[in-house]
Each structure stands twice: as structure tokens, then as C-alpha cells.
């Protein structure tokens, strides 16, 4: 049994995880629920943890894991969560099911999912843009589950401008090669044909904004002929 806002947040986090492979930022969650402060998001996440719907993954920035959904009251295999006690419905409380259940995620057996080798194209600045460093001799092995169809490559992140999106200095990002991206996507953007940066892209009229995910860095605005999308973020690898 969840409040309406708890249900909205849980479904938004689950959808974001399935579409991108990582959890949304607090800023994205705040915008999705139309809340004015991040403290409201913290309270909702804590409530979902206590009810056994979410789990925070230790030692990872802004990493959330969906344990179960309202449509599936049985706990997911990774965790045993008690069923919430029955209680009368209040004016701001809803009870599942809330519609069609999302398709089950396929189980991936280790022996059936051999790593995929991707080319590693140097370090990409998550702060000020730098020229792309392409070393055809470098590569990285990634789990096959992280990528789908199409051409992919990997880049090593340098800088801290995307930390609020869970992307840290030294991370390896997995990029789906593409020339277009939806508004608000995190992309590899080529600026003036010789500088490359990892930012969130937004189109503002005839201009293109490359937005960081760190308030200490400024958004940069360019004309449409100065920026070309080189790929879209689909995954991330991190070593501890």
C-alpha cells in the first residue's frame, strides 16, 4: 500500500533503470514528481526502503535498486520483503494493481552472456571539453546485458561535471553510436568539430544547450551548426 507520490516515484525509478541502466538523479526525480525540494524525494525514498520496494546500493553514488513493484506483491528473488499489512484506504492512498505489469526482465546466465569487447576511445572530459583521443589499440570488455543492437564504444570520464547524474571521474561510460538523441539525454557531443564532451543536451529554439550535472559548472549554449551528437549514454562501468 503506497501513497500516490510513493507509487509515482517508484514507477519512475523503475522505468528509468530499465531504459538507461542507472537510477535517475534527485533533480530528475524532483522534476518528474513536480516537487519543489529534494527533501521530499529523500522522504519518499526512505519510505519505499522501509516498505521493501527500494534498496540503496552501498558505495555507489545515487544508486537505487527496485526490489519489487506494487503489481507484483511477491518480493524479488534478491531480497525477502514482508508483505505490507492490510489497512483501510485513505484519501491519498492507492492500492495495486495499478495497470499492466511491466514485462519481466529476462534472467541472464553467466555462461550464456560472454563479455563483449568494445573499443576504448581515450578520456572524455566531464568538465571542460577536450579533443577526442582515439586509440584503436585500446579496448574494454563489458557485460553483454549492458548493450543492445547497434554500434557501441567506450570512453573514460575525466572530471566531475556529471556527478549528480551518477557519473564520476574515472568511470568508463558505454556509448551507443548515434547522430540524434532525445531532448534531455546524456550524449557525447562534438563541438566545433574538434572538442568532445559528455553532457545532457537540450534544444532551446535555434540553440543547443550542453548542461552539466554539477552546480559548480556552467551550461554552455551553442548554435545548431556547432554541435554534433556522436553517441548516447547507455551504460557505465566503475572499479573500486
Residues that are catalytic: 161, 199
Torsion (CA) 73, 79, 85, 90 in degrees, nearest 10: -70
How far is the C-alpha of 57 from the C-alpha of 224, rounded, in Å? 39
- Per-residue cell: 229: 551528437
Question: From residue 237, how far is each of 5, 44, 60, 168, 228 by CA, in Å?
Answer: 31, 28, 11, 10, 25
CB–CB of 96/84 below 8 Å? no
CB–CB of 83/95 below 8 Å? no
**Residue 36 burial (10 A CB sphere; 0-12, 13-18, 19+):** exposed
How far is the C-alpha of 51 from the C-alpha of 81, rounded, in Å? 8
How far is the C-alpha of 50 from the C-alpha of 3, rounded, in Å? 13
Count of C-beta atoms within a 10 Å radius of residue 189: 25
Amino acid at each position: 500500500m503506497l501513497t500516490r507520490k510513493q507509487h509515482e516515484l517508484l514507477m519512475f525509478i523503475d522505468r528509468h533503470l530499465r531504459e538507461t541502466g542507472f537510477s535517475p538523479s534527485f533533480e530528475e526525480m524532483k522534476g518528474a514528481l513536480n516537487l519543489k525540494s529534494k527533501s521530499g524525494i529523500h522522504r519518499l525514498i526512505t519510505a519505499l526502503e522501509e516498505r521493501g520496494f527500494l534498496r540503496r546500493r552501498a558505495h555507489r553514488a545515487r544508486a537505487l535498486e527496485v526490489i519489487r513493484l506494487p503489481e507484483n506483491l511477491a518480493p524479488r528473488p534478491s531480497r525477502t520483503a514482508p508483505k505490507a499489512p492490510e489497512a483501510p484506504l485513505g484519501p491519498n492512498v492507492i492500492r495495486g494493481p495499478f495497470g499492466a505489469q511491466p514485462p519481466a526482465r529476462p534472467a541472464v546466465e553467466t555462461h550464456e552472456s560472454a563479455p563483449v569487447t568494445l573499443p576504448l576511445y581515450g578520456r572524455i572530459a566531464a568538465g571542460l571539453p577536450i579533443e577526442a583521443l582515439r586509440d584503436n589499440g585500446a579496448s574494454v570488455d563489458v557485460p553483454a546485458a549492458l548493450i543492445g543492437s547497434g554500434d557501441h564504444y567506450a570512453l573514460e570520464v575525466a572530471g566531475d561535471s556529471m556527478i549528480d547524474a551518477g557519473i564520476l571521474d574515472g568511470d568508463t561510460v558505454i556509448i551507443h553510436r548515434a547522430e540524434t538523441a532525445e531532448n534531455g539525454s546524456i550524449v557525447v557531443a562534438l563541438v566545433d568539430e574538434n572538442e568532445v564532451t559528455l553532457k545532457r543536451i537540450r534544444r532551446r529554439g535555434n540553440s543547443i544547450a550542453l548542461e552539466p550535472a554539477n552546480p559548480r559548472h556552467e551550461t554552455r549554449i551553442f548554435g545548431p551548426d556547432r554541435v554534433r551528437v556522436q553517441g548516447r549514454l547507455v551504460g557505465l562501468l566503475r572499479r573500486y
